[in-house]
């Protein structure tokens, strides 16, 4: 996702002279092409995220389209007040791009994990929250973010995730979920970097004779309400899957929507991370296994719920 | 390159500025009394800097408050909103009568400057340590777009407690933002204690200088000196400029001066009359 982001950003920078890149001292060589072409529009803001976010807001309030980028906790919780007050209160069109969502940087420990950011950011007025499911969705999200006039948060995985879409998504739209595989028994609503696990879960379910629809629910705010209505009316089980805390994330957003709209539904499962720091060493695959977030574990739990 | 048309560096009319500063203080005191709102003393300590900025320095047109080439003035110490609102009204950004709605239900004049609501307010402030990063972003936007406007940020001394101020200070120096000027309203008090007994600011000029700024100490009640120093931005040093303005909290009213109770207290009708007498206002 990271390389797709840098590449798409360079293209956008070529097309639109308002695009400015702010990095919190990461992405060694990642932005070389952008820097080469637009040296006056690239800023390494150092390890000073509060300032970076304020600078981005000041630029956006004066006609530019800044992108502020660093590792997820540092570009979200570290400078949360700047996001809330400088960016969102002013409705400044800053695009915040985070790398290492959820447990992508599992091995680096809880300082670098990000399982609370969706919760924080979606509660701020004027903020849009997008969790792309693969590299093509990252490109679509970034392009869509630049075409509107408001704050956007894009929550990426890291690099090397499996690509799900076959090519560029021509009609990527903020707030419009994408059906990846059609099904008829259960509906798996995936947000962000969990998408490959969810596809694997669907395949495991198919082996057991259960037809699963897979949806990349990339925008957590605003929710695609049409898709939710359809999912809860059509399927005997709907599940939300995210690499984020069960408190305040995508599953919470859908639960709130269910309560507020008094939507009748059958079974509803939420997959996410528990209310605990993941302190043990190990990479993302290990962490997912421990937390029950791999494709086969998701499938098993759904089979159990249906039985 | 769009070069802002700037008034020639005329000598400030000190007598006129002093008279204007007194009128501004009077208006602030009236507002505080009527609304029974806090932060009167904080508003009075920066009244001379506000006067120098708005009545001599800034290249602004109240009839065209969003002119891309205007100088930007950010009241980073947003709790002195009364000083900003009174200034903007007196400059004609909105009707002077609207000041009567300060802190009243449903108005545009809350206790801190709002975002995207009131003409002339460049940034919503109130949480400290935000104005300078925003100002750096504005200055860079100007640089990228070829607009040579200047950015002034008025900070409180207590605000220098915030780490984001120093992040921005290092950033502005690295980017050589010579169009940026910080004025620190150094009134030696923060909300509940002497500032240097809370977090050690001294030597404050040296700190700003060490962070890469062209830093100067100045009498924050000398409107003429403030006007000249602020008008001289950029000043040829190639660096952002910090003016450490020594001030007195509650300046202009003897019984408020350097008495930190007036951080929260609002004056009675009788105290308003006394204040006006001292300020030479009727």
pLDDT tens for chain A, residues 1 to 307: 999 999 999 999 999 999 999 999 998 899 999 999 999 999 999 999 999 999 999 999 999 999 999 999 999 999 999 999 999 999 999 999 999 999 999 999 999 999 999 999 999 999 999 999 999 999 999 999 999 999 999 999 999 999 999 999 999 999 999 999 999 999 999 999 999 999 999 999 999 999 999 999 999 999 999 999 999 999 999 999 999 999 999 999 999 999 999 999 999 999 999 999 999 999 999 999 999 999 999 999 999 999 9
Rounded Cα distance between B38 and A168, Å, is: 56
Closest partner residue to B115 (CB to CB) among A63, A82, A90 is A90
pLDDT at B1: 43
In A, which residues are within 8 Å of B145 by CB distance?
62-64
Q: Which of B273, B275, B277 is nearest to B262 (CA)?
A: B275
The verdict on a CB contact (< 8 Å) between A58 and B124 is no
The verdict on a CB contact (< 8 Å) between A62 and B68 is yes
Rounded Cα distance between B102 and B84, Å, is: 12
Q: H/E element holding A19?
A: strand A19-23
- Chain B: residue whose CA lies nearest to A48: B167
Q: Which of A207, A219, A218 is nearest to A295 (CA)?
A: A207
pLDDT at A137: 98
Asked whether A2 and A10 are in contact (CB, 8 A), the reply is no
pLDDT at A27: 87
The verdict on a CB contact (< 8 Å) between B133 and A41 is no
Q: Which of A23, A31, A36 is nearest to A7 (CA)?
A: A31
Closest partner residue to A45 (CB to CB) among B123, B139, B171 is B171
Strand duo A19-23 + A42-44: pairing: parallel
Count the Cβ atoms, other than its own, within 10 Å of residue B25: 27
Q: Which of A45, A62, A90 is the best residue to mutate to test the B interface, defined by the most B CB atoms within 10 Å of its own CB?
A: A62
Asked whether B252 and B269 are in contact (CB, 8 A), the reply is no
The verdict on a CB contact (< 8 Å) between A41 and B144 is yes
Q: Which of B170, B28, B161 is nearest to B89 (CA)?
A: B28
Instruction: Indicate the pTM of the whole model.
Output: 0.96
Asked whether B252 and B278 are in contact (CB, 8 A), the reply is yes
Closest partner residue to B167 (CB to CB) among A20, A51, A63 is A51
Q: Find the farthest-apart pair of alpha carbons in chain A and give their distance in angstroms, rounded.
A: 61
Which regions in chain B score pLDDT beneath 50?
1, 3, 5
């Amino acid at each position: 996702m990271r390389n797709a982001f840098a590449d798409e950003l360079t293209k956008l920078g070529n097309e639109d002279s308002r695009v400015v890149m702010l990095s919190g001292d990461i992405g060694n060589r990642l932005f070389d092409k952008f820097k080469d072409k637009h040296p006056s529009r690239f800023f390494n803001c150092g390890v000073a995220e509060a300032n970076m976010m304020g600078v981005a807001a000041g630029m956006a309030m004066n006609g530019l389209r800044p992108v502020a980028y660093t590792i997820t906790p540092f570009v979200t919780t570290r400078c949360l007040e700047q996001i809330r007050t400088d960016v969102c209160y002013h409705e400044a069109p800053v695009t915040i791009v985070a790398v290492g969502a959820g447990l992508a940087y599992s091995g680096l420990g809880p300082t670098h994990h990000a399982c609370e950011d969706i919760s924080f950011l979606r509660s701020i007025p004027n903020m849009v929250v997008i969790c792309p499911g693969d590299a093509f969705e990252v490109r679509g999200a970034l392009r869509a973010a630049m075409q509107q006039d408001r704050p956007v948060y894009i929550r990426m995985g890291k690099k090397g995730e499996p690509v799900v879409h076959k090519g560029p998504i021509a009609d990527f739209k903020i707030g419009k979920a994408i059906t990846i595989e059609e099904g008829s028994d259960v509906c798996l609503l995936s947000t962000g970097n969990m998408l490959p696990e969810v596809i694997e879960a669907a395949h495991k379910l198919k082996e057991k004779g259960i037809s699963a629809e897979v949806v990349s629910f990339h925008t957590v705010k605003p929710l695609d309400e049409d898709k939710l209505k359809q999912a809860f009316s059509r399927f005997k089980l709907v599940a939300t899957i995210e690499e984020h805390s069960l408190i305040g994330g995508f599953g919470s957003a859908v639960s709130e929507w269910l309560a507020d709209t008094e939507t009748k539904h059958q079974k509803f499962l939420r997959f996410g991370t528990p209310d605990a720091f993941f302190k043990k060493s190990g990479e993302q695959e290990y962490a997912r296994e421990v937390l029950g977030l791999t494709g086969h574990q998701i499938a098993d739990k759904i089979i159990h719920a249906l039985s | 390159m769009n070069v802002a048309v700037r008034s020639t560096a005329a000598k400030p009319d000190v007598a006129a500025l002093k008279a204007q500063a007194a009128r501004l203080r009077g208006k602030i005191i009236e507002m505080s009394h009527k609304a029974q709102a806090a932060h009167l003393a904080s508003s009075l300590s920066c009244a001379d800097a506000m006067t120098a900025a708005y009545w001599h320095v800034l290249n602004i047109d109240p009839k065209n408050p969003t002119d891309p080439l205007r100088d930007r003035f950010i009241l980073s110490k947003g709790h002195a909103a009364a000083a900003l609102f009174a200034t903007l009204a007196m400059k004609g950004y909105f009707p002077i009568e609207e000041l009567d709605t300060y802190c009243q239900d449903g108005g545009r004049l809350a206790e801190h400057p709002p975002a995207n609501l009131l003409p002339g307010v460049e940034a919503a402030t109130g949480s400290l340590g935000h104005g300078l990063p925003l100002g750096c972003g504005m200055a860079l936007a100007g640089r990228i777009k070829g607009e040579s406007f200047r950015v002034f940020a008025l900070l409180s001394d207590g605000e220098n407690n915030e780490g984001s101020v120093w992040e921005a200070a290092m950033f502005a120096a690295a980017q050589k933002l010579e169009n940026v000027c910080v004025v620190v309203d150094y009134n030696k008090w923060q909300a509940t204690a002497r500032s240097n007994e809370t977090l050690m600011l001294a030597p404050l000029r040296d700190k700003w200088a060490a962070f890469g700024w062209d830093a100067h100490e100045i009498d924050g009640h000398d409107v003429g000196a403030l006007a000249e120093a602020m008008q001289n931005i950029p000043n040829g040093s190639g660096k952002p400029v910090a003016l450490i303005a020594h001030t007195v909290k509650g300046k202009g009213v003897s019984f408020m001066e350097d008495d930190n109770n007036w951080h929260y207290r609002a004056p009675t009708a009788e105290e308003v009359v006394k204040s006006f007498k001292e300020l030479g206002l009727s």
